[in-house]
């Protein structure tokens, strides 16, 4: 079941690790130092922040789609993919929020900016946490899977509304702080570094989700074997 893909998964993890090393070099050596306004050295955290946030969103999309398929088609595999995505996505979002705060404080003198992206990131992070917690509180594993799937789907359905509401609210209240991601035009090396980081994180996402999904599959197989032996 899982052993066939193991080679592919290990290769993926290897590629991800390699890309990450290259990315680190790019971020700290290759990319030019940013201006005073953007925080100078601290700005480099931008190359972690943006991909993390973006991959968090992608994780959420994957989890939501997998959840829909799971509820309608009932294949266990889909629940595992959704679960793995949620776990990996939670980590990405946590990194995004942390890096966002670390960068925002010296540059904007606030720990957090409730702009559209920030609000969306935070909200989805909470939904993911709810997703994982509801599984642990469910009386049976099957119910937990179903409840979690519902949570993910509701989160996804709410995203466009959150986006619109946060956008209108921002228009009403805050002076439009262009969020950390909207930098106008990025110079060549910065742009390249950002793109490479995005690629790195994307591969990392795929590798981690594949690995975790397989792991969950193995855990389920063990449970099934246990049950068969006992009967």
Partner 1 sequence: MTGYLRSAIAVYAKDMRLEARTKETFSAVLAFAVIVAFVFGFAFDPSPSVVALVGPGIVWVAYVFTGILGMNRTFAVERDRGTLEGLLLAPVGREAIYAGKLASTTTIMLLVEVLLYPVFLVLFDLDLFNIWFALVTIAATVGFAAVGTLFAAIAAHTRAREVLLPLLFLPIILPVIIGAVASTSAALGGAGWDGVGKWLQFIVAFDLVFLVLSSWAFDFVLEE
Partner 2 sequence: MTTNSTPAAPSLAIDVQGLSKSFGRTAALRQVNLQLTYGESLALFGHNGAGKSTLIRTLTTLIRPDDGTVRIAGFDCNSQASQIRSVIGYVGHQSLLYDDLTPRENLRFYARMYGLPDAHDLVEHSLAEVGATSYAGRRVRVLSNGMQKRVAIARALLHRPRVLLLDEPETGLDQGGLELLGAVVTAVKQGGASVVMATHGIELGLALAEQALVLSNGRVTMTCASPETSVNAIQHAVLRKPEAQPTLEGQTTPKASE
Residues 64 to 103: which contact partner 1 by CB under 8 A? 71
Burial degree of 149 (CB within 10 A; 0-12, 13-18, 19+): buried
Which residues, 6+ apart, have CB-to-CB distance to 203 below 8 Å? 12, 15, 16, 19
Residues 208 to 227: which contact partner 2 by CB under 8 A? 223, 226-227
Total residues at interface with partner 2 (CB under 8 A) = 9
Q: Determine the Cα angle at 37 with ends 31 and 39, to 5°.
A: 55
Distance between CA atoms of 97 and 220, rounded to whole angstroms?
Answer: 33
Binding of partner 2 at residue 231 (CB under 8 A)?
yes
| Rounded-to-10 torsion of CA 79, 92, 200, 208 | -30
Binding of partner 2 at residue 136 (CB under 8 A)?
no
Binding of partner 2 at residue 229 (CB under 8 A)?
yes
Minimum Å gap between C-beta 157 and partner 1 is 6
Select the residue interacting with partner 1 from 24, 61, 123, 177 (CB under 8 A): 123
Q: Of 20-28, 39-47, 161-169, 198-206, which part binds partner 1 (CB under 8 A)?
A: 161-169
Select the residue interacting with partner 2 from 6, 17, 141, 182 (CB under 8 A): 141
Residue listed under structure tokens 């228009």: 171
Which residues, 6+ apart, have CB-to-CB distance to 113 below 8 Å? 100, 104, 174, 177, 179
The radius of gyration computed from the CA coordinates of the chain, to the nearest angstrom, equals 20
Residue 110 near which of partner 2, partner 1, none (CB within 5-8 Å, type-dependent)? none
Minimum Å gap between C-beta 218 and partner 2 is 16
188 C-beta neighbours (distance < 10 Å), count? 9
- The residues of the shown chain that bind partner 1, judged by CB under 8 A, are 71, 119, 123-124, 126-127, 129-130, 133-134, 137-140, 143, 146-147, 149-151, 153-155, 157-158, 161-162, 164-166, 168-169, 172
- The residues of the shown chain that bind partner 2, judged by CB under 8 A, are 140-141, 223, 226-231
């Amino acid at each position: 079941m899982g052993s066939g893909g193991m080679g592919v998964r290990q290769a993926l993890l290897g590629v991800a690790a390699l890309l990450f090393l290259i990315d680190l070099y790019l971020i700290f050596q290759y990319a030019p130092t940013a201006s005073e306004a953007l925080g100078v050295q601290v700005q480099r955290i931008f190359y972690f922040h943006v991909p993390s946030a973006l991959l968090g969103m992608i994780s959420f999309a994957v989890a939501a789609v997998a959840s829909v398929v799971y509820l309608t088609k009932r294949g266990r595999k889909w629940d595992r993919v959704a679960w793995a995505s949620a776990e990996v996505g939670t980590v990405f979002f946590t990194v995004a929020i942390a890096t966002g705060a670390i960068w925002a404080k010296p540059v904007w003198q606030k720990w957090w900016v409730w702009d559209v992206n920030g609000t969306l990131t935070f909200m989805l992070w909470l939904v993911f946490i709810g997703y994982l917690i509801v599984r642990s509180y469910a009386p049976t594993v099957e119910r937990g899977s179903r409840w979690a799937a519902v949570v993910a789907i509701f989160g996804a359905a709410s995203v466009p509304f959150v986006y619109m509401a946060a956008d209108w609210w921002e228009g009403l209240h805050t002076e439009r702080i262009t969020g950390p991601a909207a930098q106008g035009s990025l110079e060549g090396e910065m742009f390249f570094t950002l793109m490479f980081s995005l690629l790195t994180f994307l591969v990392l996402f795929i590798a981690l989700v594949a690995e975790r999904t397989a792991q969950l599959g193995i855990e389920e197989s063990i449970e099934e074997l246990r049950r068969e032996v006992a009967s």
